[in-house]
Amino acid sequence: MRYLKTTVCAVALMLCSTSAFARDLVMNANTSDPAQKLAMEELIADFEAAYPEIDVKFNLYDHEAFKVAMRNFLVSDAPDLITWNAGNRMKVFVDLGLLEDVSDVWQAEGLHEAMPAVVSASSVEGKQYGVPYAYYAWGFYYRKDLFEQAGITSTPTTWEEFLEVGAKLNAAGITPITIGTKDLWPTAGWFDFLNMRINGGEFHAQLMDGKVAYTDERVKRVFEKWAELVSADFFVENHPGYSFQEALPFMNQGKSAMYLLAPFIVSMFPDDVREQVEWFPFPVIDPAVGIYEDAPTDSFHIPKNATNKEDARLFLAFAAQADVQTKTAATLDMLPPNINASVKDDRFAQGGFAQLGQANGIMQFYDRDTDPALAKVGMEGFQEFMQNPDRIDAILQRIEAERERIYGAL
């Protein structure tokens, strides 16, 4: 009995001790890619060095598990900080009243001026609910050596040139484009860019907000262009069987020349292949339409139910500093949202930075801009279309039905 009592006391003491130190800062993150993990560890170490009295408790989740866990911890026993994405993904939780208004941090640190590109993605009705630490451009990663082998001397800037490049690659026995659609999202990059290049950014934004029908003629035009590529055998075969990562061997083995993707791909090329890889932005289709780009933004947020919001704010302010952002973005191979930070000196980061600099506007990404249920049905449709272009009418009707269920009839 005495033994039991001691145990109970010991357990109680342990329970108390974890909550007794008010300067614990609990952070739950979904940054489980190798580079992301490293960047977070560095950031936390630097923060702890700057604020030795604060102890950051870091709980790392893999991305899918995080989505599951998040729905639970945000409403029960919330951490003090989370990583998440700006745009609609953030707005979902803001609307539910689960994220803290951090406009005061933006004010105090002058972030409106320092991070102009990400203000709107971080805002809901004029208030800011998170602080971005990195964003990145999408574009074509291609193998210079394979282009040369196929007799291609310059990268395509127009749709016609793009079709020509593909034809030449095909003639040389190289599949122009690799893609793995098992995880669906790589298809959405194609849809976003085609739609923004054909119909412009405003139309794209409206479509994302559910204000345009998917059966609209303008949406159909997107798939007509896309079908040109499918019927000309631009894409590798059997792409639904591959994840983004499992489709990389095509490019690494020299069987395929291009991948429409984001900077996290860079670390995945073996050294000898990486030397051959260069970058170009998505070509112009209609010169009358402005340049709009996908630039997904990753950010820190404070849950409404957090206990240590004061120190969490200190962290946000710290992570927004120019020199901190320079370091974090460089480790991530991404871009720092703070304009006073410097962009990593490599061709991919600089290329993406230049392209975003001249863009008329930026979007987050299909599955970050629109309702999650609609995004899922939409991307399944894109995948089916890429395998069976002739089913397009049925596919669009199905996506439209889901849009109507969520956003209502037009």
Partner 1 sequence: MFPRPIQERSRSRQLMYKVALPISLIIWLLPMIAIVATAGRSLSDLNRGNYWGMPSEWAFIENFAKVFGSSSIGTYLLNSVIITLPSIAGALFLSTLAGAGLALYKFRGRFLILALFIAGNFVPFQILMIPVRQLTLDLGVYDTYWGVILFQIAFQTGFCTFFMRNFIAELPFELVEAARAEGVGEWQILVHIIVPLVRPALAALAVLQFTFIWNDFFWPLILIQSDELRPITLGLTVLKGQYISSFNLLAAGSLIAALPPVMMFFAMQKHFIAGLTLGASKG
Partner 2 sequence: MTEIQVLSNSRRRTGSTFLRKHQLIIAPVAFITPAFAMFSLFVIYPIIQSIGLSFVEWQGIGPQTWVGLDNYRELLGDPVFWKALTNNVYWLVLFLLAPVLGLFIALFLNQNVFGIRLVKSLFFFPFVVSQIVVGLVFAWFYDPAFGLLATMLEPLGVKFPAILSNENWATFGIILAGLWPQTAYCMILYLTGLNSVNPEVIEAARLDGAKGWRLLVNIVLPQLRAATFIAVVVTIIGALRSFDLVAIMTGGGPYNSSNVLAYYMYDNAIFRYRMGYASAIATILFLIMDLYIAWFLMRLLKNEKGSR
Does an H or E element contain 297, and which? strand 297-301
Interface with partner 2 (CB under 8 A), residue total 33
Q: In the structure encoding, which two tokens stand for residue 278, read together?
A: 């260069």
Binding mask 114-153 for partner 2 (x = CB under 8 A): ----------------------------------------
Per the CB < 8 A criterion, the answer to whether 179 and 167 are in contact is no
268, interface contact from partner 1, partner 2, none, CB < 5-8 Å by kind:
partner 1
73 binds, among partner 1, partner 2, none (CB under 5 to 8 A by kind): partner 1
Task: Pick from 107, 120, 206, 267 the residue near partner 1 by CB under 8 A.
Answer: 267
Candidates 23-31, 313-321, 350-358, 376-384: pick the segment binding partner 2 (CB under 8 A).
Answer: 376-384
Tell which positions 142-181 bind partner 1, by CB under 8 A. none
The distance of Cα 192 from the centroid of its chain, to the nearest Å, equals: 13
Cβ proximity to partner 1: between 332 and 395 the closer is: 332
Candidates 55, 160, 224, 246; binder of partner 2 (CB under 8 A) is 246
Q: Which of residues 39-98 bind partner 1 (CB under 8 A)?
A: 57-65, 68-69, 71-73, 76-77, 79
Q: Can you tell me the distance from the alpha carbon of 179 to that of 242, in angstroms, rounded to the nearest whole number?
A: 8
Query: Could you tell me which stretch among 70-78, 133-141, 300-308, 351-359 binds partner 2 (CB under 8 A)?
Result: 70-78
Number of alpha helices (DSSP H) and beta strands (DSSP E) in the chain: 18, 13
184 DSSP 8-state letter: S
CB of 347 to partner 2, least distance (A): 29
Q: DSSP state, 235?
A: B
Output 18 or 397, the one with its CB closest to partner 2: 397
Report which of 27, 22, 52 is spatially closest to residue 41, judged by C-alpha positions.
27
Nearer to partner 1, 29 or 229 (CB): 29
Quote the least distance from Cβ 405 to partner 2, whole Å: 8
Q: Is 392 in the site for partner 2 (CB under 8 A)?
A: no
What angle, 0 to 180 degrees and rounded to 10, lies between the N-to-C axes of helices 217-231 and 159-171?
A: 20
168-197 residues in contact with partner 2 (CB under 8 A) are 181-184
Segment near partner 2 (CB under 8 A), from 7-15, 66-74, 133-141, 161-169? 66-74
Using rule CB under 8 A, residue 80 touches partner 2: no
Q: Which residues pair with 143 in a beta bridge?
A: 277
Q: Report DSSP letters for 311-329, one per residue.
A: HHHHHHHHHHSHHHHHHHH
383 binds, among partner 2, partner 1, none (CB under 5 to 8 A by kind): partner 2
- The SS3 assignment for 264 reads helix
Shortest distance, CB of residue 361 to partner 2, whole angstroms?
A: 27
Chain centroid, CA 120 distance in Å: 16
Query: Edge-to-edge strand order for the sheet containing 24-29?
Result: 55-60, 24-29, 81-85, 297-301, 131-135
333 phi-psi bin (left φ>0, alpha ψ -120 to 50, beta other) = left
Contact 168, 156 (CB under 8 A): no
Query: By CB under 8 A, what part of segment 91-110 binds partner 2?
Result: 92, 95-98
* Residue showing tokens 């122009």: 176
Taking CB under 8 A as the criterion, the residue among 43, 54, 74, 265 binding partner 2 is 74
Looking at 106-252, which runs of residues are DSSP E strands?
123-124, 127-128, 131-135, 139-143, 175-177
Smallest Cα–Cα separation from 93: which of 134, 133, 124, 60? 124
Residue 201 neighbours by CB under 8 Å, 6+ apart: 290, 292, 360, 361, 363
* Using rule CB under 8 A, residue 241 touches partner 2: yes
Question: Which is nearer to partner 2, 239 or 403 (by Cβ)?
Answer: 239
Q: Which residues pair with 315 in a beta bridge?
A: none
107 near partner 1, judged by CB under 8 A? no
Residue of the chain from 328, 383, 396, 403 that contacts partner 2 (CB under 8 A): 383
> Does the footprint of partner 1 cover residue 28 (CB under 8 A)?
yes
Query: How open is the CA angle 394-396-400, to the nearest 5 degrees?
Result: 115
Residue 23 touches which member of partner 2, partner 1, none, C-beta under 5-8 Å by kind:
none
The residues binding partner 2 (CB under 8 A) are 67-68, 71, 74-75, 92, 95-98, 181-184, 236-242, 246, 249-250, 255, 372-373, 376, 380-381, 383-384, 387
Chain residues binding partner 1 by CB under 8 A are: 28, 30-37, 57-65, 68-69, 71-73, 76-77, 79, 243-245, 248-250, 252-253, 262, 264, 267-271
